[in-house]
Structure 1
Amino acid sequence: MNALIRSDRAVTLVGGGPVAAGEVAAALDLAPVLVAADGGAAAALEAGQMPLAVIGDFDSLDPATRAAIPAERLQHVAEQDSTDFHKCLSRIEAPLVLGLGFAGGRMDHMLAVFNVLVRLPRRRAVILGPEDLCLLAPPSLSIDLDPGTPVSLFPMAPVTADSRGLEWPVQGIGFAPDGQGGTSNRATGHVSLNAHAPKLLLMLPRAALPRLLDALPGAPGW
């Protein structure tokens, strides 16, 4: 699929779900290229920011918001077989995508986002929720965490992993969506995690974002 956005800098992607005041500006400090997913354009404009592009089928893009955005920035994708998050992530080539407005709303939307993270493993994306964050665990990740930091692992398909620095090591566990999960593990300090397939979601507190962003450039991709 041809990319609509190619950037050597991280991208902030704003979706149509809840976005707290100040979140867009804070995300842009970390990921300075702004893209909106369909109705997420309204949150971008409310934050005083004009997105570089708006990508989606535009079924949730209200007329006033659409009229405020230059026509050349509106990237209409008509097909209805994928979500707006999938439409966007599959068309953005960047070192990292920070997703706002994709968690904390409807459960079916959030589950669809998790599905896309696994379906597009070569796109590195971190989804920011009100209290925590989620990403597809890379093949290996080495991150400094404070002792006691919650670390949750959720399998989207059968998968194994190994770890150092977790209170309950995960090696030898056969994770599966309908079997063993890894909810509410805890860091004992520096954590090394190796996922053996691109099927394992990693969830950390939102406060761990700066340390995650420090760690991700050294983590290999799928």
Structure 2
Amino acid sequence: MLSDRFLTSVGGSQSRLVLLILNYRLPPVTLALWKHAQLRVVADGGANRLYDTVSKWSCQSVPKLNPADAVPDIIKGDLDSIRPEVLEFYRHLGSRIVDLSDDQDTTDLQKCIDCALHQLKEDPSQLDGASILAVGALGGRMDHVLSSLNTLYRHEGRKILLCGDGNLVRLLPAGRSRLTPDRATEGPACGLVNLGTPATASSTGLKWNLDNTRLEVAGLQSTSNIIVSDEVIVDTDRPLLWMTEFHDPVQLPETQSSTNGQLE
């Protein structure tokens, strides 16, 4: 079962979460997810985003947040993007800084996922079964987006989600996947897209279900589909990208109430 219910059940205990922050526009729900997460890993440039963004939201108990209210557990990357004053600020507050400047063959997303997977292995009592959610992972330059999607294919079978610019994406492994979309924040638009070896897939729970349908690059892809059920089942013989439109449950500062996006 692959559930995204933690997107609105922020702060609850229904699922464990590892939050990754990358160097692109962060959705307003980021800070609420931050409170819910058991582990927070930030790419070097993502630290700038976090530092500059945290003060734009408020919560009930702290009307005006500041960067010290959201300190990463780990800042990891080649450290070519993080501003020196931001690096020293978080270092002083206890963030573990991991310098991988000698590794120019992997992206910041891959470095953060590797870090998360290592921590999952090292601390199973706290992180066993956790989903990994990367915010700021979609949008902006197309080569970055394609690189992020490619990274998912390197981790077939892992519960990894990418979030950015109104989209959520995960990779469904070969076999049967039962999905429970958070319909308060996801859809109705969705898609099943194949960027790898041609796949044959069937589905239930969609307006236009697949029936042993071949999906392939330069051929048919199931785009602009619609979620019509609280459960979607996909059977596929090859990995497929499952993507939904994402409606942020936290309103922007100028329209949000004081109770939205609580960190307490």
1:167–1:187 Cα contact (<8 Å) kept: yes
SS at structure 2 position matched to 1:121: coil
Amino acid at match of 2:180: I
Alignment deviations for residues 169-205 of structure 1 (CA, whole Å, 9 cap, x no partner): 1122111122111101112323432243562111112
Shift of 1:83: 0.6
Percent of residue pairs bearing the same amino acid type: 29
Work out which of the residue numbers 148, 165, 179 in structure 1 matches 2:219.
179
Taking the aligned partners of 1:102 and 1:191, their CA distance within structure 2 comes to: 25
Per-residue deviation, 1:29: 4.1
SS in 1 for 2:208: coil
The TM-score normalised by the length of structure 2 is 0.68
Once the 2 structures are TM-superposed, how far is the Cα of residue 96 of structure 1 from its aligned partner? 0.9
- Answering whether residue 149 of structure 2 is matched by residue 114 of structure 1, we say yes
Of 88, 105, 128, 1:67 maps to 88
SS in structure 1 at match of 2:137: coil
Show the counterpart of 1:54. Answer: 75
Instruction: Quote the residue 2:204 is aligned against.
Output: 164
Structure 1: which 5+ runs fail to align? Answer: 1-7, 210-222
| Residue in 2 that maps onto 1:218 | none
Pairwise CA distance, 1:33: 2.4
Cα distance in 2 between the residues matched to 1:36 and 1:161: 36
CA distance in 2, matches of 1:105, 1:142: 28
The structure whose Rg is larger is: 2
Are 2:111 and 1:87 equivalent residues in the alignment?
yes
Q: Which ranges of structure 2 fall in alignment gaps of 5 or more residues?
A: 1-14, 55-66, 121-129, 250-264
Residue in 2 aligned with 1:205?
A: 245
1:19 maps onto 2:42 in alignment = no
2:193 maps to 1:154 = yes
Between the aligned partners of 2:201 and 2:236, the Cα distance in structure 1 is 5
Instruction: Tell me, yes or no, if structure 1 residue 141 matches structure 2 residue 178.
Output: yes
Aligned-pair CA distance for 1:122: 3.7
CA distance in structure 1 between the partners assigned to 2:95 and 2:37 by the alignment: 22
SS at match of 1:39: helix
Q: Which residue of 2 aligns with 1:98?
A: 133
Corresponding pairs, count: 200
Offset of 1:53 from its aligned partner? 0.2
SS in 1 for 2:143: helix
Code of the residue aligned with 1:35 in structure 2: it is V
CA RMSD of aligned residues (A): 2.4
Highest relative contact order (Cα 8 Å, sep 6+), 1 or 2? 2
- The residue that corresponds to 1:43 in the other structure is 49
